[in-house]
Chain A
Amino acid sequence: MVLDEKDNRSPWEKIGDYFSANSVWMKWYCTGCGAIEMPPTMTSRFDMERLGMGPMATPRQADVLLITGYLSTKTLRRVIYSYEQMNSPRYVVGFGSCTVNGGIYYDSYATINRLDMYLPVDLYIAGCMPRPEAIMNGFAKLIDMIKKGEARGWRHYQENYEWYKKNQLDSLGEVIIKDEFHE
Protein backbone atom coordinates (compact mmCIF):
# COMPACT_ATOMS: atom_id res chain seq x y z
CA MET A 1 0.00 0.00 0.00
CA VAL A 2 1.35 3.40 -0.92
CA LEU A 3 1.25 5.86 1.90
CA ASP A 4 1.26 9.24 0.23
CA GLU A 5 -0.98 10.98 2.73
CA LYS A 6 0.43 13.67 4.95
CA ASP A 7 -0.03 13.57 8.67
CA ASN A 8 -3.29 15.49 8.90
CA ARG A 9 -4.43 14.11 12.22
CA SER A 10 -6.11 16.39 14.69
CA PRO A 11 -4.41 16.85 18.07
CA TRP A 12 -6.98 14.61 19.69
CA GLU A 13 -6.27 11.88 17.17
CA LYS A 14 -2.57 12.19 17.89
CA ILE A 15 -3.23 11.77 21.58
CA GLY A 16 -5.50 8.82 20.87
CA ASP A 17 -2.88 7.20 18.67
CA TYR A 18 -0.23 7.76 21.32
CA PHE A 19 -2.25 5.92 23.94
CA SER A 20 -3.53 3.16 21.70
CA ALA A 21 0.02 2.46 20.53
CA ASN A 22 0.93 1.69 24.11
CA SER A 23 -1.79 -0.87 24.66
CA VAL A 24 -2.22 -2.78 21.47
CA TRP A 25 -4.62 -5.65 21.87
CA MET A 26 -4.49 -8.24 19.22
CA LYS A 27 -6.55 -11.01 17.78
CA TRP A 28 -4.54 -13.56 15.92
CA TYR A 29 -6.08 -15.80 13.40
CA CYS A 30 -4.07 -19.00 13.50
CA THR A 31 -4.38 -19.96 9.88
CA GLY A 32 -1.02 -21.43 9.03
CA CYS A 33 2.21 -22.53 10.61
CA GLY A 34 2.89 -19.04 11.98
CA ALA A 35 0.68 -19.63 14.98
CA ILE A 36 3.40 -21.76 16.52
CA GLU A 37 5.72 -18.75 16.66
CA MET A 38 3.26 -16.85 18.85
CA PRO A 39 3.58 -18.85 22.12
CA PRO A 40 7.34 -18.15 22.45
CA THR A 41 6.66 -14.52 21.59
CA MET A 42 4.00 -14.28 24.27
CA THR A 43 5.72 -16.18 27.04
CA SER A 44 8.67 -15.43 29.25
CA ARG A 45 11.54 -15.57 26.78
CA PHE A 46 10.43 -12.76 24.47
CA ASP A 47 7.43 -11.50 26.49
CA MET A 48 5.55 -9.16 24.21
CA GLU A 49 3.53 -7.79 27.11
CA ARG A 50 6.44 -5.51 27.85
CA LEU A 51 5.46 -3.69 24.65
CA GLY A 52 1.89 -3.40 25.95
CA MET A 53 0.59 -6.03 23.57
CA GLY A 54 -1.73 -8.71 24.74
CA PRO A 55 -4.00 -11.35 23.31
CA MET A 56 -7.69 -10.66 23.17
CA ALA A 57 -10.57 -13.07 22.95
CA THR A 58 -12.82 -11.49 20.36
CA PRO A 59 -12.28 -9.29 17.31
CA ARG A 60 -14.61 -6.65 18.75
CA GLN A 61 -12.12 -5.92 21.53
CA ALA A 62 -8.97 -6.13 19.42
CA ASP A 63 -6.92 -3.48 17.65
CA VAL A 64 -4.68 -5.71 15.57
CA LEU A 65 -5.57 -8.70 13.45
CA LEU A 66 -2.63 -11.02 12.94
CA ILE A 67 -2.80 -13.28 9.91
CA THR A 68 -0.27 -15.95 10.78
CA GLY A 69 0.33 -17.74 7.52
CA TYR A 70 -1.40 -18.95 4.42
CA LEU A 71 -5.09 -18.30 3.94
CA SER A 72 -7.37 -20.73 2.22
CA THR A 73 -10.44 -19.30 0.55
CA LYS A 74 -12.60 -20.86 3.24
CA THR A 75 -10.56 -19.20 5.96
CA LEU A 76 -10.44 -15.88 4.16
CA ARG A 77 -14.23 -15.61 4.37
CA ARG A 78 -14.01 -15.97 8.15
CA VAL A 79 -11.12 -13.53 8.32
CA ILE A 80 -13.11 -10.89 6.43
CA TYR A 81 -16.00 -11.46 8.84
CA SER A 82 -13.63 -11.01 11.77
CA TYR A 83 -12.01 -7.92 10.30
CA GLU A 84 -15.31 -6.22 9.66
CA GLN A 85 -16.36 -6.83 13.26
CA MET A 86 -13.35 -4.94 14.61
CA ASN A 87 -13.60 -1.35 15.74
CA SER A 88 -11.64 1.38 14.01
CA PRO A 89 -8.78 2.07 14.20
CA ARG A 90 -7.82 -1.45 13.30
CA TYR A 91 -4.59 -2.80 11.92
CA VAL A 92 -3.64 -5.93 10.01
CA VAL A 93 -0.26 -7.63 10.18
CA GLY A 94 0.60 -10.33 7.65
CA PHE A 95 3.06 -13.00 8.72
CA GLY A 96 5.38 -14.85 6.44
CA SER A 97 5.83 -15.21 2.75
CA CYS A 98 2.43 -16.86 2.23
CA THR A 99 0.60 -13.63 2.92
CA VAL A 100 3.06 -11.67 0.76
CA ASN A 101 2.97 -13.67 -2.47
CA GLY A 102 1.60 -17.12 -1.72
CA GLY A 103 4.91 -18.59 -0.60
CA ILE A 104 5.27 -22.26 -1.34
CA TYR A 105 1.52 -22.40 -1.96
CA TYR A 106 1.72 -20.05 -4.96
CA ASP A 107 0.04 -22.64 -7.23
CA SER A 108 -2.48 -24.02 -4.75
CA TYR A 109 -6.12 -24.19 -5.76
CA ALA A 110 -7.17 -23.46 -2.20
CA THR A 111 -4.99 -20.59 -0.97
CA ILE A 112 -4.84 -16.96 -1.98
CA ASN A 113 -1.60 -15.36 -3.15
CA ARG A 114 -1.79 -11.77 -1.96
CA LEU A 115 -3.47 -10.78 1.27
CA ASP A 116 -3.45 -7.06 0.48
CA MET A 117 -5.89 -7.59 -2.36
CA TYR A 118 -8.58 -8.43 0.19
CA LEU A 119 -7.65 -6.66 3.42
CA PRO A 120 -5.52 -3.57 4.02
CA VAL A 121 -2.23 -4.86 5.40
CA ASP A 122 -0.32 -2.31 7.45
CA LEU A 123 2.79 -4.37 7.97
CA TYR A 124 4.27 -7.55 6.59
CA ILE A 125 6.75 -9.60 8.59
CA ALA A 126 8.79 -11.58 6.10
CA GLY A 127 10.08 -15.06 6.71
CA CYS A 128 8.96 -18.62 6.35
CA MET A 129 8.04 -18.47 9.20
CA PRO A 130 9.39 -15.34 10.92
CA ARG A 131 11.23 -16.17 14.11
CA PRO A 132 10.05 -14.54 17.36
CA GLU A 133 12.88 -12.00 17.08
CA ALA A 134 11.50 -10.87 13.74
CA ILE A 135 7.97 -10.78 15.15
CA MET A 136 9.07 -8.62 18.09
CA ASN A 137 10.87 -6.36 15.64
CA GLY A 138 7.74 -6.12 13.55
CA PHE A 139 5.58 -5.30 16.56
CA ALA A 140 7.96 -2.53 17.61
CA LYS A 141 7.71 -1.17 14.08
CA LEU A 142 3.90 -1.40 14.15
CA ILE A 143 3.74 0.49 17.46
CA ASP A 144 5.98 3.15 15.97
CA MET A 145 3.74 3.38 12.90
CA ILE A 146 0.63 3.76 15.03
CA LYS A 147 2.28 6.55 17.05
CA LYS A 148 3.26 8.40 13.90
CA GLY A 149 -0.14 7.85 12.28
CA GLU A 150 1.32 5.83 9.42
CA ALA A 151 -0.83 2.75 9.94
CA ARG A 152 -3.78 4.00 7.91
CA GLY A 153 -4.89 0.73 6.39
CA TRP A 154 -8.32 0.87 8.04
CA ARG A 155 -8.94 4.25 6.45
CA HIS A 156 -7.77 2.94 3.10
CA TYR A 157 -10.28 0.10 3.48
CA GLN A 158 -13.08 2.58 4.12
CA GLU A 159 -12.14 4.77 1.19
CA ASN A 160 -11.53 1.94 -1.28
CA TYR A 161 -14.21 -0.41 -0.03
CA GLU A 162 -15.55 -1.16 -3.52
CA TRP A 163 -12.11 -2.16 -4.76
CA TYR A 164 -11.57 -4.53 -1.83
CA LYS A 165 -15.08 -5.90 -2.16
CA LYS A 166 -14.61 -6.54 -5.87
CA ASN A 167 -11.36 -8.43 -5.26
CA GLN A 168 -13.01 -10.46 -2.52
CA LEU A 169 -15.91 -11.41 -4.76
CA ASP A 170 -13.67 -12.16 -7.75
CA SER A 171 -11.62 -14.65 -5.78
CA LEU A 172 -14.18 -16.04 -3.37
CA GLY A 173 -17.44 -15.95 -5.26
CA GLU A 174 -19.32 -15.03 -2.10
CA VAL A 175 -18.17 -13.85 1.28
CA ILE A 176 -21.24 -15.29 2.96
CA ILE A 177 -20.41 -18.19 5.26
CA LYS A 178 -22.53 -21.22 4.57
CA ASP A 179 -21.55 -24.38 6.35
CA GLU A 180 -23.28 -26.94 8.49
CA PHE A 181 -22.39 -25.06 11.68
CA HIS A 182 -24.15 -21.92 10.44
CA GLU A 183 -27.37 -23.52 9.22
Chain B
Amino acid sequence: MNSMNSMISDIKAALSPLETSEPAFRQIAAVVKPDGIHGALAYLKNKGFTQLCILTCIDWIEDSQFELVYILFSWTDGIHIQLRARIDREKPFFTTVTDIFPGARYYEREVHEFFGVEFCGNEDLYKPLFLELWDDIPPLRKDFDPQAYSDSKFPMRENANEFLSMTGGGDDE
Protein backbone atom coordinates (compact mmCIF):
# COMPACT_ATOMS: atom_id res chain seq x y z
CA MET B 1 0.00 0.00 0.00
CA ASN B 2 3.01 2.31 0.32
CA SER B 3 3.20 2.68 -3.44
CA MET B 4 -0.46 3.70 -3.45
CA ASN B 5 0.06 6.35 -0.76
CA SER B 6 3.12 7.78 -2.44
CA MET B 7 1.29 7.73 -5.78
CA ILE B 8 -1.61 9.70 -4.32
CA SER B 9 0.67 12.27 -2.74
CA ASP B 10 2.61 12.55 -6.02
CA ILE B 11 -0.60 13.15 -7.94
CA LYS B 12 -1.78 15.73 -5.44
CA ALA B 13 1.52 17.57 -5.64
CA ALA B 14 1.94 17.44 -9.42
CA LEU B 15 -1.59 17.80 -10.76
CA SER B 16 -3.33 19.76 -7.99
CA PRO B 17 -6.63 17.91 -8.55
CA LEU B 18 -9.93 19.29 -7.36
CA GLU B 19 -10.70 16.05 -5.57
CA THR B 20 -9.14 12.61 -5.14
CA SER B 21 -10.58 9.37 -3.85
CA GLU B 22 -9.96 5.62 -3.83
CA PRO B 23 -13.05 3.94 -5.27
CA ALA B 24 -11.67 0.42 -4.86
CA PHE B 25 -8.53 -1.54 -4.09
CA ARG B 26 -5.54 -0.13 -6.02
CA GLN B 27 -7.67 2.40 -7.83
CA ILE B 28 -7.33 6.18 -7.68
CA ALA B 29 -9.86 8.69 -8.95
CA ALA B 30 -8.98 12.32 -9.50
CA VAL B 31 -11.12 15.21 -10.73
CA VAL B 32 -9.15 17.81 -12.66
CA LYS B 33 -9.97 20.90 -14.63
CA PRO B 34 -10.54 20.35 -18.38
CA ASP B 35 -7.41 22.22 -19.40
CA GLY B 36 -5.38 20.09 -16.98
CA ILE B 37 -6.21 16.79 -18.69
CA HIS B 38 -3.39 16.88 -21.24
CA GLY B 39 -0.74 17.77 -18.68
CA ALA B 40 -2.05 15.11 -16.33
CA LEU B 41 -2.06 12.41 -19.03
CA ALA B 42 1.48 13.28 -20.16
CA TYR B 43 2.69 13.30 -16.54
CA LEU B 44 1.06 9.97 -15.73
CA LYS B 45 2.34 8.36 -18.92
CA ASN B 46 5.89 9.26 -17.87
CA LYS B 47 5.15 7.79 -14.43
CA GLY B 48 4.44 4.40 -16.00
CA PHE B 49 0.72 4.61 -16.77
CA THR B 50 1.28 3.59 -20.37
CA GLN B 51 -2.11 2.10 -21.10
CA LEU B 52 -5.23 4.14 -21.74
CA CYS B 53 -7.89 1.57 -20.83
CA ILE B 54 -10.87 3.62 -21.88
CA LEU B 55 -12.11 7.09 -22.55
CA THR B 56 -15.79 7.50 -21.95
CA CYS B 57 -18.32 10.18 -21.15
CA ILE B 58 -21.20 10.82 -18.76
CA ASP B 59 -24.11 13.10 -19.53
CA TRP B 60 -25.02 15.24 -16.48
CA ILE B 61 -28.02 16.82 -18.07
CA GLU B 62 -29.25 18.61 -14.92
CA ASP B 63 -25.87 20.32 -14.50
CA SER B 64 -25.69 20.88 -18.29
CA GLN B 65 -22.27 19.25 -18.35
CA PHE B 66 -20.48 16.31 -19.96
CA GLU B 67 -17.97 14.48 -17.82
CA LEU B 68 -15.05 12.91 -19.68
CA VAL B 69 -13.48 9.93 -17.93
CA TYR B 70 -9.98 8.71 -18.77
CA ILE B 71 -8.88 5.47 -17.13
CA LEU B 72 -5.18 4.64 -17.16
CA PHE B 73 -3.38 1.52 -16.01
CA SER B 74 0.19 0.97 -14.93
CA TRP B 75 1.59 -2.48 -15.66
CA THR B 76 4.56 -1.89 -13.34
CA ASP B 77 2.54 -0.86 -10.27
CA GLY B 78 -0.79 -2.52 -11.00
CA ILE B 79 -2.73 0.65 -10.28
CA HIS B 80 -5.70 2.11 -12.12
CA ILE B 81 -6.10 5.88 -12.28
CA GLN B 82 -9.31 7.53 -13.29
CA LEU B 83 -9.14 11.15 -14.44
CA ARG B 84 -12.38 13.04 -14.72
CA ALA B 85 -13.11 16.47 -16.10
CA ARG B 86 -16.36 18.28 -16.80
CA ILE B 87 -16.99 20.31 -19.94
CA ASP B 88 -19.90 22.45 -21.00
CA ARG B 89 -22.79 20.48 -22.49
CA GLU B 90 -23.95 23.30 -24.73
CA LYS B 91 -20.49 23.76 -26.28
CA PRO B 92 -19.07 20.22 -26.21
CA PHE B 93 -15.58 20.87 -27.57
CA PHE B 94 -12.42 19.27 -26.32
CA THR B 95 -8.92 18.73 -27.65
CA THR B 96 -7.76 15.35 -28.81
CA VAL B 97 -5.29 13.37 -26.73
CA THR B 98 -4.08 11.25 -29.65
CA ASP B 99 -0.68 12.96 -29.50
CA ILE B 100 -0.19 11.40 -26.05
CA PHE B 101 -2.17 8.15 -26.47
CA PRO B 102 -2.61 7.34 -30.20
CA GLY B 103 -5.15 4.64 -29.34
CA ALA B 104 -7.53 7.30 -28.08
CA ARG B 105 -8.44 7.95 -31.70
CA TYR B 106 -11.15 5.27 -31.61
CA TYR B 107 -12.41 6.14 -28.13
CA GLU B 108 -12.85 9.74 -29.22
CA ARG B 109 -14.77 8.67 -32.29
CA GLU B 110 -17.02 6.58 -30.07
CA VAL B 111 -17.66 9.44 -27.64
CA HIS B 112 -18.29 11.74 -30.57
CA GLU B 113 -20.85 9.38 -32.05
CA PHE B 114 -22.72 8.59 -28.88
CA PHE B 115 -22.52 11.96 -27.09
CA GLY B 116 -21.67 14.49 -29.74
CA VAL B 117 -18.47 15.72 -28.11
CA GLU B 118 -16.13 17.20 -30.73
CA PHE B 119 -12.46 16.38 -30.28
CA CYS B 120 -10.51 19.01 -32.19
CA GLY B 121 -7.47 17.53 -33.90
CA ASN B 122 -8.79 14.00 -34.39
CA GLU B 123 -8.72 13.45 -38.15
CA ASP B 124 -11.11 10.49 -38.23
CA LEU B 125 -13.74 12.11 -36.04
CA TYR B 126 -16.46 12.33 -38.68
CA LYS B 127 -16.09 8.81 -40.05
CA PRO B 128 -18.88 6.53 -38.86
CA LEU B 129 -17.69 3.92 -36.40
CA PHE B 130 -20.70 2.10 -34.91
CA LEU B 131 -23.73 4.02 -36.09
CA GLU B 132 -24.10 4.12 -39.83
CA LEU B 133 -26.37 6.75 -41.38
CA TRP B 134 -27.48 8.07 -38.02
CA ASP B 135 -30.20 10.70 -38.37
CA ASP B 136 -31.05 11.88 -34.85
CA ILE B 137 -29.33 13.44 -31.85
CA PRO B 138 -26.51 11.32 -30.39
CA PRO B 139 -28.22 8.34 -28.81
CA LEU B 140 -26.57 8.19 -25.39
CA ARG B 141 -27.56 11.73 -24.46
CA LYS B 142 -30.12 11.67 -21.70
CA ASP B 143 -32.67 13.66 -23.70
CA PHE B 144 -32.75 11.03 -26.46
CA ASP B 145 -35.81 8.78 -26.34
CA PRO B 146 -34.88 5.30 -27.63
CA GLN B 147 -38.45 4.00 -27.41
CA ALA B 148 -39.75 6.75 -29.69
CA TYR B 149 -36.90 6.21 -32.16
CA SER B 150 -37.47 2.45 -32.18
CA ASP B 151 -41.21 2.92 -32.69
CA SER B 152 -40.65 5.28 -35.61
CA LYS B 153 -38.11 3.05 -37.37
CA PHE B 154 -38.63 -0.58 -36.45
CA PRO B 155 -42.17 -1.99 -36.62
CA MET B 156 -43.29 -4.15 -33.74
CA ARG B 157 -44.96 -7.51 -34.15
CA GLU B 158 -48.67 -7.25 -33.62
CA ASN B 159 -49.98 -10.05 -31.47
CA ALA B 160 -53.47 -11.42 -31.80
CA ASN B 161 -53.80 -11.32 -28.01
CA GLU B 162 -52.15 -8.77 -25.81
CA PHE B 163 -50.62 -11.17 -23.29
CA LEU B 164 -49.32 -8.55 -20.90
CA SER B 165 -52.79 -7.23 -20.11
CA MET B 166 -54.07 -10.79 -19.77
CA THR B 167 -51.55 -12.01 -17.23
CA GLY B 168 -49.92 -9.12 -15.45
CA GLY B 169 -51.03 -5.82 -14.11
CA GLY B 170 -53.59 -6.35 -11.37
CA ASP B 171 -56.08 -3.83 -12.68
CA ASP B 172 -57.83 -6.57 -14.62
CA GLU B 173 -60.01 -8.62 -12.35
Residues 11-54 of chain B: 1 if any A CB is under 8 Å from the residue's CB, otherwise 0? 00000000000000000000000000000000000000000000
Interface residue B133 (Cβ < 8 Å from any Cβ of A): yes
Once the chains bind, are A106 and B156 in contact (CB under 8 Å)?
yes
A112 to B153, CA, bound (A): 8
Number of A-B residue pairs with CB-CB distance less than 8 Å in the complex they form: 54
For B157, the chain A residues whose CB sits under 8 A away are 100-102, 113-114
Once the chains bind, are B128 and A179 in contact (CB under 8 Å)?
yes
Q: Which A100-137 residues have a C-beta within 8 angstroms of B?
A: 100-102, 106-114, 117
Chain B residue nearest in CB terms to A174: B133
- Which of B135, B149, B154, B156: most chain A CB closer than 10 A? B154
**Given known A-B contacts A106-B150, A109-B146, A173 and B135 have beta carbons under 8 A apart:** yes
Which A residues fall within an 8 A CB radius of B?
73-74, 77, 100-102, 106-114, 117, 167, 170-174, 178-180
Which B residues fall within an 8 A CB radius of A?
124, 127-128, 130-133, 135-136, 139, 144, 146-147, 149-150, 153-157
- Write 11 A-B pairs (CB below 8 A) sorted by A numbering: A73-B132, A102-B154, A107-B146, A107-B147, A107-B150, A111-B154, A113-B155, A113-B156, A170-B153, A178-B128, A179-B128
* A-B contacts besides A112-B154, A171-B154, 9 pairs, CB < 8 Å: A74-B132, A106-B156, A108-B146, A108-B150, A114-B155, A114-B157, A178-B128, A179-B132, A180-B127
